[in-house]
Amino acid sequence: MLISKLEVFHLRLPLLHHFEISSGRLTHIDSILVRLRGEGDEGWGEAPPWNTPIYGHETAETAFHMVRDIFAPEVVGRRFDTPGSINAVLGQFRGNGFAKAALETAWWVLEARLKGKPLHETLGGDKNKIVGCGNSLGIEDTPEQLLDAVQASLDMGFQRIKIKVKHGWDLKILDKVRGRFPAIALQVDANSAYSLEDIDTLRHFDDYGLVQIEQPLAYDDLIDHATLQAELKTPICLDESIKSAEDARKAAQIKACRIINIKISRVGGLYEAIKIHDVCASSGIPCWVGGMLESAIGESICIEFASLPNIKLPSDIMPSCRFYRPDITEPENVMSRQGTYQLSQQPGIGHNPVWERVESFTVKRWESS
C-alpha cells in the first residue's frame, strides 16, 4: 500500500483508579496514537510509553518526537506491501520500540482493512480462539483495598489474578491473599524490584502455588534470571528483558525463564511480536500477551494478537471499564462474564475512535502535509 498521510497524537488518559508498580504510581496514562491513511482507508495504532521512563527508556514525548521527526519522513509517500518492508525501514533506527509499535500496528490495521479481513486473520491467528484474560492489580494503600480488588476482579470473571510486589509488599501480602483466596490462579509481578541478594525472600514465593513470578530481577538481565530459575520451582516469566526474538532465543538457551510475556509495544510492533511467539513455540515456552493500560485501540490489537497458537495463558487485556470512563472508541472493549473476548469479525479491529473523545484527551497532535 502507498502511505499518503500520517497523524500522531499524544493522549493523556485519566485512570479511574491509580495504578502502582514497584517503580512508581500512575494516575493517568500517556499514550501515542498513530493514524495512517492510504488507498482510501485508514488504520489506527497505539503504544503507551507513559510520561516517565519507569517501565522502559521511552516517554510519550520521546515517542511523539520519533514518529513525527524520524519515522514520518521515511514512511509518508512510500509503498509498503509487506510487514517486513515497513519493519526494515523502522529497524534501521535503534531502540524506540514504543514509537515503532504505534506506527507499525497502524500499518497492520490498515492492511487488514484494505484486505477486508479481521486483524487476527492477517496475523495468521486462529479465528475460533476465545481469548482468556487475567487482571493486573497494582500496589494499594492497604492490604484490605487489595483484597477487595481481588474479589471485585473475580466477580467480573477474570480467569487469573496478578498482583504487583516489591520490598515490604510481598510475602505478608501473599499470606493475606492466599488466606482469603486459596484456590485462585495467582501470579506476581515485581517489575525488577529484586536482585539475587534477595534470593531467600524469592524462594518463599514457591510456598504460594503461583502460576508464575514475572520479571523479579533487573529489566535488562537474562543471566541472573537463569541462576534464579534454577533455584525456584515456580516458573519465572520474563517481560522487560525480552525486547526481540534474539532475546527470547537467548533466554530459552540459558533457561532464564519458563514463560514469556509478549508486549507488542515493548518489542516494537506485531512483526517482532510474531517472531518472539514463534521462537517461544519452537523452544516449548508458552506465552501470554501483556498490556500497558492501552485504550481500546491498543487493547483490541492485543486481543487479535492473542489468537496465535502459542498464546496459552490468560493475558492482561482489560475491558474499557477497568481503567477508563469513557474509553476513546465505539464500541468499547467488553469482556464476558467468563473472562474472555471474542475476536473481531470486522475488517481491522472493529473498534473506531470517537473523534470528540480523542480530541478531549489530546495533549498535542501533528499531521504530515
Residues classed as catalytic:
164, 263
* Residue 119: partners with Cβ closer than 8 Å, 6 or more residues away: 108, 109, 112, 301, 304, 305, 344, 348, 349
> Cα–Cα distances in Å, from 342 out to 127, 130, 300?
9, 5, 10
Asked if residues 260 and 280 have their Cβ atoms less than 8 Å apart, the reply is: yes
Pairing of strands 329-330, 352-353: antiparallel
- Of 195, 210, 150, 201, the closest CA to residue 172 belongs to 201
Q: How many CA atoms lie within 13 A of 74 on its CB side?
A: 18
Distance of CA 112 to the CA centre of its chain: 21
The sign of the torsion formed by the CA atoms of 120, 123, 127, 131 equals: negative
Cα distance between residue 38 and residue 20, in whole Å: 39
Cα distance between residue 43 and residue 4, in whole Å: 12
Own/partner contacts of 200-205, CB < 8 Å, gap of 24 or more, are 201/170, 201/171, 202/228, 202/231, 202/232, 203/231, 203/232, 204/171, 205/170, 205/171, 205/174, 205/232, 205/234
